[in-house]
A and B are shown apart, each in its own frame.
Chain A
Amino acid sequence: MASLVTLTYSQPTRNLAAGEVLVHEGDRGGDLYVLESGRLVVERSGTVIARLSEPGALVGEMSVLTGAPNSATVRAEGPAIVRVVADAMRYINRQPEVAVHIATVLAQRLDATSAVLAEVRGEAGASPAEQSRLSRLVTALFAGKSG
C-alpha cells in the first residue's frame, strides 16, 4: 500500500516553527494533517501523551471521523512540515485508498492498546478495583462504549 505522504502528494504543505501549535484541544476539527518531516508533540490537558516523528503520521483524523472537537493539542517540537488536507471528510470520500489507509492506522492503534491491556490483565496482583477499571477499558476498546 502506498504511504499517506505519497497518497496526499497533491495537497499543500504548511511549515511550522518550533513550538507552533498545529491543532488546539477543544477547537473544531475537520482538517487532516500528514507529517512530512520534523517532530510533533501531542498533549492532552497539559500532559504530553505522545510524540510523532514518523513521516506519514496522521493528525486530526479523530475529529474528522467523529465530528468531535480536537481531543488534544499538537505542536511542533522543532521545525516541521505537514501536508494539509482541508475539508478532509469530502477528500476521504473521494479517495478509497486514503480511507483504507486511515482505517489501517486506527486498527494498529487499537491493536497496540489491546496488547497492552492483555499483558496487564495477565499480571497477578491487581486489586478488584483495578480489575474493574481494566474490564471497563476492554469494553470501551472492543465495543466503543465506556459503560
Chain B
Amino acid sequence: MASLLTLTKEQPSRSLDVGEVLIAEGDPGGELYVLESGKLSVERDGVVLATIAAQGALVGEMSVLLGTENTATVRAATPATVRVVADALAYLERQPLVALRVAMLLSQRLDATSALLVALSKEQGIRAPEQGLFNRLMTSLVTPGKD
C-alpha cells in the first residue's frame, strides 16, 4: 500500500525551525500533518513523551478524529518539513486510502501497546496494584469507556 507521503503528495508543505511549535496543547485541532523530514518531539504538560522521526508519521490525527482540542504539544526537535492537510476530516472522508492508512497506523500503536502490556504483566516483581493497572490499560485498549 502507498505511504501517507505518497497519498498526500498534492498537499502543501510547511518548514519548521528547531524549537518551532507545530501544534500547541489545548489549541483547537482539525488539521493533519505528515512528517516529511526531520524530527518532532511530543510533549504533554512540559514532559517529552515521544520523539517522532519516521517519515510518513502522523501528527494531529487524534484531534481530527475525536473532534477534540490538541492533547499534546508537538515541536520541531530539528529543522523539519511536514505535509499539511487542512480540514482533515472532510479530506479523509473523500480519500478512503488515506483513512485506511490512518487506521492502520492507529492499530499499530494499539497493537504495540497491548503486546508490551502482555509482556510486562509476565515480568517478575509486578505487584498487585500494578497488575490491576495493566488490566485497566488492557480494557481501555480494547474498549474505551468501559473501565
A: which residues have CB within 8 A of B? 42, 44-45, 49-52, 57, 61-62, 65-66, 68, 71-72, 89, 92-97, 99-100, 102-104, 106-118, 120, 129-130, 133, 136-146
B24 within 8 A of A: no
The answer to the question of B138 belonging to the interface, with a C-beta cut-off of 8 Å to chain A, is yes
Could you tell me the distance in whole angstroms from the C-beta of B44 to the nearest C-beta in chain A?
7
CB distance from B85 to the nearest CB of A (A): 13
Which residues of chain B have a CB within 8 Å of any CB of chain A?
42, 44, 49-52, 61-62, 65-66, 68, 71, 89, 92-97, 99-100, 102-120, 123, 125, 130, 133, 135-147
A66 to B101, CA, bound (A): 10
Main SS class of interface, B: helix
Cα of A65 to Cα of B103 in the assembled complex, Å? 7
- Contact of B110 with A100 in the complex, beta carbons under 8 Å: no
Contacts of B65 in A (CB 8 A): 100, 103-104, 107
Other-chain residue from A68, A89, A112, A146 in contact with B144 (beta carbon distance below 8 A): A112
The reply to whether A100 and B62 form a contact with Cβ atoms under 8 Å apart is no
Contact of A65 among B107, B117, B137, B138 (CB under 8 A): B107
Instruction: Report B-chain residues with C-beta under 8 Å of the C-beta of A113.
Output: 110, 113, 137, 140-141
Taking a contact as CB atoms closer than 8 A, the residue among B92, B99, B100, B109 that contacts A140 in the complex is B109
* Distance A120 CA – B104 CA, assembled complex (angstroms): 28
Contacts of B117 in A (CB 8 A): 137
Contact of A110 among B95, B99, B106, B133 (CB under 8 A): B106
Partner of A139, one of B50, B68, B145: B50
The reply to whether B66 and A100 form a contact with Cβ atoms under 8 Å apart is: no
Q: Are A100 and B93 in contact (CB under 8 A)?
A: yes
Q: Looking across the interface, which residue of chain A has its beta carbon closest to that of B44?
A: A118
Interface of chain A, main secondary structure: helix
Determine the chain A residues whose CB is within 8 A of the CB of B116 once the complex forms.
136-137, 140, 146
Given contact pairs A99-B96, A111-B144, a sample of 8 additional A-B residue pairs in the complex whose CB atoms are under 8 Å apart: A62-B110, A94-B96, A96-B99, A100-B89, A102-B103, A107-B106, A116-B133, A144-B108
| A–B pairs, 21, beta carbons within 8 Å | A45-B118, A51-B146, A65-B103, A71-B111, A71-B115, A99-B96, A99-B99, A102-B103, A103-B103, A104-B65, A106-B107, A108-B144, A109-B140, A113-B141, A116-B136, A129-B125, A137-B120, A141-B112, A142-B49, A144-B112, A146-B119
